């Protein structure tokens, strides 16, 4: 045994010294705790700092031209020499989250903090760190104040080509179809930018703790196709300014999550834990008592299909009568909350500068009566604040609006920013980033949790503000109602890209896959790109069920019309759709999660645990797939009953999407579960412990 330990220590020392050798010539360097990831800081011949990142002794990514550019003559990027350095390691510890994919997260990384001074007496403080699953750096300039920032010069260099998954860079929206393409053919990209190298190492480039800065995107160099420039979202002046920079303000962490397998990226909490936990700000857990995971339904899908309207006209969705029906359905089906879009005044004048009222309801929606009714049934309300992008108006009103919610014992608000911001401000600018932050802080003061649509991209701020519960920020379900829709591959890419940034309110759960119910509805109106009657969802029914597990959100919606969760019996009575039993049983208050298998664009299988119950979700692209899932994540020597909500043998997302089968079998940790997924299909499993 003793010899064995000595041997392991010797091996570790050897591999650490290998990484050490790789960073020879650096000013300072750091190695990950497992010695597999290393990074060194160097100065080039012009005194410009650069960072080389190594994984398994190979160059992984090099970061050059680190620094910001300004509109005056100050040189912030070169002519530097090292002033001082010290290591800033974070020893192994765990932290607990109030909610999340995992309630306990492990944190350990090694890093260096250096001070560099250049010929213009500019002092740059640069921090970088490495963990077993990531690399990050950030920097600040001391003494530089109110400099008008014109950009960031930092570039990322890949040593060789690989594949990548990303959406295009855009400063107004993230709602685009994902592209799988060689790294070298990516003209521009938003982050998370996920890639796999020619040595089969996985990475995802993103940012963490984005505050008071514009968001960062990537643009390929015009000559070197493996070099990407940082492209920050500009401000509204048209002068090329991107932000106003405060004294000693550091950039967000620029991060690369690293994995040996694609699923390692999903299992990493590296990005999240670079944010500061709320407790470190002295904010006690009990300030977030209301930020609990919930399941919800809503008066929502009907508007996207065009059979209901947000405006209080004849097709108005949010009527008092419908609200009560939804509340009854929630109460009867173990669903915590109901969302009502179009409940308030302001929708009548959609278009132009939008002025919503966030405390007055539409004439046919008696908000006080609906709240009383919901509370009498133990169902929570989710209020909807669509801003239309009118930020000045929302900032004037939000204090009053959140106070109104607090007064009515309402703890959840869905916000929305469908529309351009006034005065040519862009959604993803410093102005936008600061706005979204102010809303989170204001909501927190009123004990309100947020679900943000058209958000700024998540960068882990939920670690500091647990009331920032979910966000959209990618093409969600709504696109299936009024466009060509999301491809079957889309939901297999999201966990490896957008969801690395944080939970997503994708709103799965459409059971009427081909919109049969609305085909003859005379009220149905086209209101967006396509008439819903010509649209459909590009999945099977079982895949919709699986998405409740696969696409993590602590506030999880069953998004279809409640009529579609019920089946009419020959005698006219209604019973709950057997596949909806999954949602009734599902507990979104997860304790533990693990992505087990998969690759972006192909398939993914994820297991979660809430209390003693385990849930498994697996989804595939347009290809059918047979999966063997080792159940070794279950506790040993215990027996579980697995209820499997699967595609039937004849299911196919195009030709037979609603064909399903539900089976049961006893399993233990020693078993391997065989799952069969149809083309565009999926499978969801509930594993309950048996005595």
Nearer to ligand NOJ, 308 or 446 (CB): 308
Shortest spacing between CB 482 and ligand NOJ, in angstroms: 11
Nearer to ligand NOJ, 318 or 678 (CB): 318
Helix, strand, coil in percent for the chain, rounding step 5: 20, 35, 45
Nearest distance in Å: CB 555, Ca ion: 16
| Residue 235 interacts with, from Ca ion, ligand NOJ, none (CB under 5-8 Å by kind) | none
Least distance from C-beta 453 to ligand NOJ, angstroms?
A: 4
Nearest approach in angstroms of CB 296 to ligand NOJ is 12
In the bound state with ligand NOJ, the residue whose beta carbon lies nearer, of 260 and 360, is 360
Q: How far is the CB of 342 from ligand NOJ (least distance, A)?
A: 8
Min separation Cβ 555 and ligand NOJ, Å = 13
- Residue 108 CB, nearest distance to ligand NOJ (Å)? 38
Exactly one of 101, 472, 512, 560 binds ligand NOJ (CB under 6 A); that residue is 472
As a whole number of angstroms, the distance between CA 65 and CA 658 comes to 54
Shortest distance (Å) from residue 417 CB to ligand NOJ: 8
In angstroms, give the least distance from the CB of 476 to Ca ion: 6
Q: Of the two residues 151 and 503, which places its CB atom closer to ligand NOJ in the complex? A: 503
Which CB atom, from 261 or from 528, has the smaller least distance to ligand NOJ?
Answer: 528
- DSSP class of 121: -
Query: Which of 418, 575, 654, 666 lies at the binding interface for ligand NOJ (CB under 6 A)?
Result: 418
- The item of Ca ion, ligand NOJ, none sharing an interface with residue 341, based on CB under 5 to 8 Å by kind, is ligand NOJ
Residue 353: name the closest of 305, 421, 402 by CA: 421
Which is closer to ligand NOJ, CB of 171 or CB of 300? 300
Q: CA distances (Å), 148 to each of 152, 254, 582, in order?
A: 12, 21, 54
Whole-angstrom distance, CA of residue 446 vs CA of residue 4:
57
Residue 328, CA distances (Å) to 31, 279, 321, 555, 564 in order: 57, 38, 11, 19, 15
- The entry of Ca ion, ligand NOJ, none that residue 373 binds, CB within 5 to 8 Å by partner kind: none
Q: Which residues make beta-bridge pairs with 116?
A: 82, 124
CA atoms within a 13 Å half-sphere pointing along the CA-CB vector of 90: 17
- CA 667, 673, 677, 683 torsion-angle sign: positive
Report the distance separating Cα 638 and Cα 631, nearest Å: 12
CA distance 155 to 230: 6
Kindly state whether residue 8 participates in binding ligand NOJ, applying the rule CB under 6 A: no
Length of the chain as a residue count = 691
Site for ligand NOJ in 530-549 (CB under 6 A): none
674 binds, among ligand NOJ, Ca ion, none (CB under 5 to 8 A by kind): none
Decide if residue 478 touches ligand NOJ (CB under 6 A).
yes
Q: Which is nearer to Ca ion, 295 or 453 (CB)?
A: 453
Is 261 in contact with 202 (CB distance < 8 Å)?
A: yes
Q: What residues numbered 447-466 form the site for Ca ion, per CB under 5 A? A: 453
| Residue 416 interacting with ligand NOJ (CB under 6 A) | yes
Report the partner that residue 397 touches, choosing among Ca ion, ligand NOJ, none (CB closer than 5 to 8 A by kind): none
Among 647, 671, 673, residue whose Cα is nearest residue 661:
647
* Nearer residue to Ca ion within complex by CB, 319 or 507: 507
Q: What is the 3-state secondary structure (H, E, C) of 126-167?
A: EEEEEECCEEEEEEEEECCCCEEEEEECCEEECCCCEEEEEC
Nearer to Ca ion, 140 or 470 (CB): 470
**Which residues inside 300-339 make contact with ligand NOJ, applying CB under 6 A?**
300
| Partner from ligand NOJ, Ca ion, none contacting 599, C-beta within 5 to 8 A by type | none
H or E, element range at 125:
strand 123-131
Told to check if 386 binds ligand NOJ by CB under 6 A, we report yes
SS3 397: helix
Mask for 267-306, x = binds ligand NOJ (CB under 6 A): ---------------------------------x------
Cβ nearer to ligand NOJ, comparing 413 with 642 = 413
For 552, phi then psi, to 5°, come to: -65, 130
CB neighbours of residue 146 within 10 Å: 9
Nearer to ligand NOJ, 416 or 681 (CB): 416
C-beta of residue 621 within 8 angstroms of C-beta of residue 677: no
Residue 453 interacts with ligand NOJ (CB under 6 A)? Answer: yes
Q: Tell me if 187 sits within 8 A of 220, measured CB to CB.
A: yes
Give the DSSP H/E element, type plus range, for residue 35. Answer: none
Q: Please state the closest distance from residue 90 (CB atom) to ligand NOJ, in A.
A: 37
CB 416 to ligand NOJ: min, Å: 4
Size of the site for Ca ion (CB under 5 A): 1
**What is the C-alpha separation between 299 and 168, in angstroms, rounded?**
32
Convert residues 403-442 into a mask of x (bound to Ca ion by CB under 5 A) and - (unbound): ----------------------------------------
The first and second tokens of residue 66, run together, are 């680190």
What minimum distance in Å lies between the beta carbon of 118 and ligand NOJ?
A: 46
- SS3 assignment, position 105: strand
Name which of 474 and 596 has its Cβ closer to ligand NOJ: 474
Q: By CB under 6 A, is residue 529 in contact with ligand NOJ?
A: no
Could you give the dihedral angle defined by the CA atoms of residues 143, 125, 136 and 178, in that order, rounded to the nearest 10 degrees?
30
Q: For residue 678, count other CB atoms closer than 10 A to its CB.
A: 29
> Between residues 175 and 484, which has the closer beta carbon with respect to ligand NOJ?
175
Nearer Cβ to Ca ion (134/302): 302
> Does 133 sit near ligand NOJ (CB under 6 A)?
no
- Least distance from C-beta 4 to ligand NOJ, angstroms? 56
C-beta of 416 vs 502, nearer to ligand NOJ: 416
Cα(383)–Cα(394) distance, integer angstroms? 15
Q: Which residue has the tokens 């119910």?
A: 517
Using CB under 6 A, which residues numbered 341 to 360 contact ligand NOJ?
A: 341
Taking Cα atoms as reference points, which of 171, 193, 192 lies closest to residue 183?
193
Q: Which does 386 bind (CB under 5 to 8 A by kind): ligand NOJ, Ca ion, none?
A: ligand NOJ
* Distance from C-alpha of 42 to C-alpha of 39, rounded to nearest angstrom: 10
Identify what 416 binds: ligand NOJ, Ca ion, none; CB under 5 to 8 Å per kind: ligand NOJ
Question: E strands within 341-484?
Answer: 380-386, 412-416, 449-452, 468-471
Q: Provide, rounded to whole angstroms, the least separation between the CB of residue 419 and ligand NOJ.
A: 9
* Phi, psi values for residue 510, rounded to 5°: -80, 120
Q: How far is the CB of 300 from ligand NOJ (least distance, A)?
A: 6
Footprint on this chain of ligand NOJ (rule: CB under 6 A): 300, 341, 386, 416, 418, 453, 472, 478
Footprint on this chain of Ca ion (rule: CB under 5 A): 453
């Amino acid at each position: 045994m003793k010899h064995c330990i000595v041997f392991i220590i010797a091996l570790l020392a050897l591999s650490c010294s290998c990484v050490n050798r790789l960073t020879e010539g650096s000013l300072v360097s750091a190695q990950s705790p497992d010695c597999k990831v290393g990074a060194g800081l160097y100065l080039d011949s012009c005194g410009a700092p650069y960072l080389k990142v190594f994984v398994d002794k190979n160059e992984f990514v090099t970061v050059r031209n680190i620094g910001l550019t300004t509109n005056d003559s100050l040189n912030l990027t070169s002519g530097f020499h090292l002033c001082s350095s010290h290591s800033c390691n974070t020893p192994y510890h765990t932290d607990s989250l109030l909610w999340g994919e995992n309630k306990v997260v492990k944190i350990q990384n090694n890093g260096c903090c250096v001070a560099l001074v250049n010929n213009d007496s500019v002092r740059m403080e640069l921090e970088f760190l490495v963990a077993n699953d990531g690399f990050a750096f950030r920097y600040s300039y001391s003494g530089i104040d109110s400099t008008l920032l014109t950009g960031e010069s930092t570039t990322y260099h890949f040593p060789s080509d690989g594949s990548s998954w990303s959406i295009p860079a855009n400063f107004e929206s993230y709602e685009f179809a994902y592209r799988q393409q060689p790294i070298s053919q990516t003209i521009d990209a938003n982050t998370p930018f996920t890639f796999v190298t020619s040595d089969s190492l996985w990475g995802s480039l993103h940012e963490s703790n984005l505050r008071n800065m514009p968001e960062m995107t990537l643009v390929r160099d015009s000559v070197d196709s493996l070099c990407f420039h940082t492209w920050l979202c500009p401000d509204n002046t048209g002068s090329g300014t991107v932000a106003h920079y405060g004294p000693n303000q550091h950039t967000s962490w620029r991060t690369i999550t690293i994995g040996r397998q694609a699923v390692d990226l999903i299992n990493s909490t590296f990005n999240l834990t670079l944010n500061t936990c709320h407790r470190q700000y002295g904010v006690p857990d009990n300030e977030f008592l209301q930020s609990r995971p919930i399941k919800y339904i809503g008066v929502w899908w009907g508007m996207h299909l065009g059979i209901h309207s947000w405006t209080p006209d004849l097709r108005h969705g949010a009527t008092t009568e419908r609200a009560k029906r939804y509340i009854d359905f929630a109460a009867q089906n173990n669903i915590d909350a109901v969302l009502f879009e179009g409940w308030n005044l302001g929708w009548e004048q959609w278009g132009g500068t939008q002025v919503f009222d966030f405390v007055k309801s539409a004439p046919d929606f008696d908000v006080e009566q609906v709240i009383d009714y919901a509370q009498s049934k133990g169902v929570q309300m989710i209020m909807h604040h669509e801003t239309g992008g009118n930020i000045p108006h929302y900032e004037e009103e939000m204090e009053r609006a959140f106070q109104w919610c607090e007064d009515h014992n309402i703890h959840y608000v869905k916000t929305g920013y469908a529309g351009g911001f006034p005065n040519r401000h862009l959604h993803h600018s410093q102005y936008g980033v600061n706005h979204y932050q102010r809303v989170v802080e204001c909501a927190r003061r009123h004990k309100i949790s947020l679900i943000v649509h058209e958000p700024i991209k998540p960068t882990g701020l939920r670690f500091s503000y647990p009331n920032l519960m979910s966000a959209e920020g990618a093409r969600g379900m709504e696109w299936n109602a009024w466009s060509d829709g999301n491809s079957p591959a889309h939901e297999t890419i999201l966990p490896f890209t957008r969801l690395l940034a944080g939970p997503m309110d994708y709103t799965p759960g459409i059971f009427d896959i081909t919109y049969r119910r609305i085909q003859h509805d005379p009220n149905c109106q086209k209101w967006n790109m396509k008439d819903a009657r010509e649209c459909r969802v590009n999945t099977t029914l079982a895949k919709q069920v699986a998405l409740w597990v696969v696409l993590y959100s602590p506030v999880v919606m069953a998004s279809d019309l409640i009529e579609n969760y019920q089946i009419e019996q020959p005698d006219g009575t209604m019973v709950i759709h057997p596949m909806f039993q999954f949602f009734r049983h599902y507990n979104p208050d997860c304790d533990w999660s693990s992505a087990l298998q998969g690759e972006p664009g192909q398939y993914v299988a994820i297991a979660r645990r809430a209390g003693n119950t385990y849930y498994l979700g697996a989804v595939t692209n347009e290809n059918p797939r047979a999966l063997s899932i080792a159940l070794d994540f279950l506790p040993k020597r215990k027996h579980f009953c697995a209820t499997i909500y699967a595609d039937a043998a004849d299911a196919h997302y195009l030709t037979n999407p609603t064909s399903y089968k539900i089976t049961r079998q006893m399993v233990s940790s020693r078993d391997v579960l065989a799952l069969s997924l149809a083309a565009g299909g999926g499978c969801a499993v509930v594993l309950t412990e048996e005595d």
